[in-house]
Amino acid sequence: MVMFPLMGLKLKNPVLVAAGPWSRDAHSIQKSIDAGAAAIISETITMENGVNHQPRYFRLQDNVFNLALYAKLTLEEWQQEIKVIDRKDAVLIASIWGSTPSETAYIARKVEHFGFDAIELSISAPLGLKSDRLTNNPEMIEQYVAAVVSAVDIPVMVKLSYATSLNHRVIKGIEAAGAKALSAIDTLKGLKGINLETFTPLMPAVGGYGGSYLKPISLATSASLNQFINCDLTASGGITSATDVLEFLAIGANGVQLASIILLQGHEVIEKIVQEVDEWLTKRDIRQASDICGRALPHLRPYEDIPLERDIRITCLDPSSIGRDMMNICLDDAIDEFGINVSRCTGCGICVETYPEVFQITW
Amino acid sequence: MNIKEVAKRAGVSVSTVSRVLNHPDLVREDTRKSIIKIMEELDYSPNWFARNLNLNVTHTLAILVPTIETPFYQRIVAGIEAIANERGYTLILCNTNNQPENERRHLSVLRDRKVDGLIITSTSLLPDVLHNLLEDTIPHVFIGHDERYRFENSCYISFEEAGYRMTQHLVSMNSDKVNERLHVVLDDRSQSRTKKILIGAIQACYDENLAEPKVIQCPNDMGAPYVIARNLIAKQELGQLILCSDDEMAFAIMKAIDEAGQSIPGHYAIAGLSNSIFSSISHPPLTSMDQPAKKLGMVAARLLFDLLDGLDQSEHVVLQSVMKIRRSCGNRKYIHELQEV
């Protein structure tokens, strides 16, 4: 078994369960533990009265919109819930949110006292209470994180929204304040659509939008965060398979969080992914986390450093199959019924991506 | 060293010594002084925790409120009760009506009843007096923020920040109305809160290069603010930007403005700071600030139970109010009602 260290804790595999309704109580958390997840993050615990809007989930294919802010269970109820969890060898992380540094520090102290092993601090204000003051203000965020870090002995991981993950000053502040890890990214704001008969939105309010569509965005975020942070990183957003998990590890994540996929396929999917990741690591004889974490990073370049390819040639393998749609896709008007007009082709590659059986790059 | 030895040395009963500690006003001056001298000689300090153990835990908490007639304090009590009920505790509610005598009387009675803990939501006693009455007798938590007092455990909503933010918002929405002074209308029976609101408003005016606000203090009812506004309108002296400590006062002023045939937000921009349940359906809907009063009560109860559970920490928790941007401030946007930028 390969150990994946994360903020000083030893995770038995790189699969974590993200904060969300699939971790809303002891029963649901137990399912994740029994399915083999290395760490489980609770639904976000606050001092508010949790609200369950009805309905609160909407779908667009296998992407999900949610109008759920935070846990329904109160602080006191969490104290009781955690007592009935059989941890086995899993790590329990409490996701918390508060409206001020002192309020959040209080919750942090409490959850540490209840027995959680670490904290995931949500700094992007939740849906409905958006305030730019917190999302993009480095000084306030640093204060916020520092208050929580100094209140507890257990490690603190800070969850970033997409917007915050682009803000270098904020990230530096979070690290300086003592966060041991970052997790990126949270859901994006999404709106399902508009009913044009009635001119009503298909959702009562803009919600958090997550699902497989997010994977490339999250992958890019992991890649760029890893360039300049010193602390650990867990990736979240669009991870739905063992391959996804491995890709995120390769781009530099220390751990990977599963979220909407659990909502769509149930806790069983965790077991499948954990198993497949383990099989792959064994087959490749990976003995330690550093053998895979970040392996792909050196090959990724900043835009300016992309080597200029010279004279790539795209050829058409089967001119007889060329149809209208293939000709339309070419911006250079270089595709005709005979194949590719080499003098017009500028090597953009869109035909190769779209019709790989018909077009090929030959260097 | 215990209380019995002090009593023996002083030649008085244990209850007299106890009275010196808990009800000094009931003991004769010379008796009190000599007993205190003996306590100092013997290096005696009362052990309130032991006292509670001896006298049985009562499973009661007391709450001291300045009024039971406003939603703010009603919700604080509801919040405290939510936590207390979960722990099987009963509440004793003491209404002081902002009178120091009532407060003193309640505090003495509470000591005699030996409640397990006390939450003070407001005080009209001077710091030394209050701290003397409380010292080492009952575990307590203060709801509020006043630098003159030295409470070990407290929680509060920053009204200064609320006053500042709302003033800033009114100004940003109404650049056409900033030549006159902001009118700040305050409930004169809620000084601890309104004082802070005013400080915030004054600071915001300063930061926005506005003249100092004009202050109007009156009771929070539908009568007084209405009459004052009506008179000011008649003299054409009502400011175009109006900030009220309580939404009810804003409604009263809106009535006066409406009767004078003037409009909001056309002629005036107005906001409240207590987010009444009617503020979203008034005409126009009133921009206000939602105070997390129930949460505040829950936090206070949690802090108190931490003390009762033996957690020996000093905790101060601040809560944030949430702006509800509606129409009366001049806002025309829709999503703006849900979030402040």
* Predicted confidence (pLDDT) per residue in A40-57, tens digit: 999 999 998 778 888 999
Query: B295–A47: do the CB atoms touch at under 8 Å?
Result: yes
**Mean pLDDT over each residue of chain A, to the nearest integer:** 92
Which tokens is B243 given?
């900030």
Number of Cβ within 10 Å of residue B86's Cβ equals 13
Query: How high is the pLDDT of residue B338?
Result: 46
**B318 lies within 8 A of chain A by CB:** yes
Q: Does A227 touch chain B (CB under 8 A)?
A: no
CA distance linking residue A237 with residue A247, whole number of Å: 13
Which of A99, A111, A133 is best to mutate for the B interface (most B CBs within 10 A)? Answer: A99
Q: Is A49 on the interface with B (CB under 8 A)?
A: yes
Asked whether the beta carbons of A96 and A45 are under 8 A apart, the reply is yes
Q: Is pLDDT above 80 for A299?
A: yes
Q: What per-residue confidence (pLDDT) applies to B40?
A: 82
Answer yes or no: pTM beyond 0.95.
no
Question: What is the model's pLDDT at position B335?
Answer: 67
pLDDT value at position B41? 80
Spatial contact of B94 and B77, defined as CB atoms under 8 Å apart: no
Residues of chain A positioned with their CB less than 8 A from the CB of B83: 76
Average pLDDT over residues A241-265: 97
First to last CA, chain A: 42
What's phi and psi for B118, nearest 5 deg? -140, 135
Among candidates B159, B225, B214, which has minimal Cα distance to B192? B159
Q: What residues of chain B lie within 8 A of the CB of A48, using their CB? A: 292, 295
Q: Please report the pLDDT score of residue B341 as a whole number.
A: 38
Helix (H) or strand (E) holding A255: strand A255-258
Q: What residues contact residue A216 under an 8 Å CB cut-off, 6+ apart?
A: A238
Q: Mind listing the pLDDT tens digit of every residue in chain B (341 residues)?
A: 577 788 888 888 877 887 787 667 777 888 888 888 888 887 776 655 455 444 567 899 999 999 898 889 999 999 999 999 999 999 999 999 989 999 999 998 887 777 899 999 988 888 888 888 887 778 999 999 988 998 999 999 999 999 999 999 999 999 888 777 899 999 988 888 999 999 999 999 999 999 999 999 999 887 999 999 999 999 999 999 999 999 999 999 999 999 999 999 999 999 999 999 999 999 999 999 999 999 999 999 999 999 998 887 889 999 999 899 999 999 888 765 444 43
Is residue A218 helix, strand or coil? Answer: helix
| CB proximity under 8 Å: A 167-226 to B | 205-206
Whether the pLDDT of residue A130 is over 60: the answer is no
Whether residues A106 and B294 touch (CB distance < 8 A) is answered with no
The more confident residue out of B204 and A128 is B204
Residue A264 near chain B (CB below 8 Å): no
Does residue A206 register a pLDDT over 50?
A: yes
Q: What is the mean pLDDT of residues A205-214?
A: 93
Kindly provide the ipTM of the predicted complex, given to two decimals.
0.82
Look at residue A260 in the predicted model and tell me its pLDDT.
Answer: 95
Q: Are A141 and A165 in contact (CB under 8 A)?
A: no
| Cβ-Cβ contacts under 8 Å, A100 against chain B | 317-320
B86: contact with A, CB 8 A cutoff: yes
Cβ pair B315:A48 closer than 8 A? no
Picking from B318, B335, B340, the nearest residue to A100 by CB comes out as B318
Interchain pair A99, B338: CB under 8 A: no
Whether B339 and chain A come into contact, CB under 8 Å, resolves to: yes
Q: How confident is the model at residue A135 (pLDDT cuts 50, 70, 90)?
A: low
Q: Pick the residue from chain A with its C-alpha nearest to B292.
A: A48
Judged by a CB distance cut-off of 8 A, whether residue A89 touches chain B is: no
Tell me if A128 and B338 make a contact (CB, 8 A cut-off): yes
Quick check: B83 and A76 CB within 8 A? yes
pLDDT of residue B289: 94
Residue among B278, B264, B250 nearest B327 (CA): B264
Of the two residues A190 and B8, the one the predictor is more confident about is A190
A39 vs B97, residue with greater confidence? A39
Predicted local confidence at residue A136, as pLDDT: 64
Please answer yes or no on whether B338 and A131 come within 8 Å at the CB atom.
no
∠ CA A49-A52-A58, rounded to 5°: 145
Facing B319 at nearest CB: one of A49, A103, A131: A103
Specify the pLDDT at position B46: 64
Q: Which of A102, A107, A136, A150 should we substitute to test contact with B (largest number of B Cβ atoms within 10 Å)?
A: A102
Q: CB A128 to CB B341 under 8 A?
A: no
Distance separating alpha carbons of residues B201 and B170, to the nearest angstrom: 11
| Cβ-contact A135, A124 below 8 angstroms | yes
Report the C-alpha gap between B150 and B23 in whole angstroms: 21
Task: Give the one of A99, A102, A130 whose C-beta lies nearest to B316's C-beta.
Answer: A102
pLDDT band for position A128 (50/70/90)?
A: low
Within 8 A of A106 by CB-CB distance, chain B residues are: 299, 302, 315, 317
Helix axes B100-113, B127-134, angle to 10 degrees: 10
pLDDT reading at A286 higher than 90: yes
Yes or no, beta carbons of B317 and A100 under 8 Å apart: yes
Report CB contact under 8 Å: B338, A103: no
| Residue B52 pLDDT | 47
**Most B CBs within 10 Å, among A53, A76, A140, to test the B interface:** A76
Partners of residue B315 in chain A, C-beta under 8 Å: 106
- Cβ of A99 and B319 within 8 Å? yes
Radius of gyration of chain B (CA): 24
Q: Residue B317 and residue A106: Cβ atoms within 8 Å? A: yes
Given this model, what pLDDT does residue A29 score?
98
The CA distance from B61 to B72, in Å, is 20
Q: In B, which residues are within 8 Å of A132 by CB distance?
A: 341
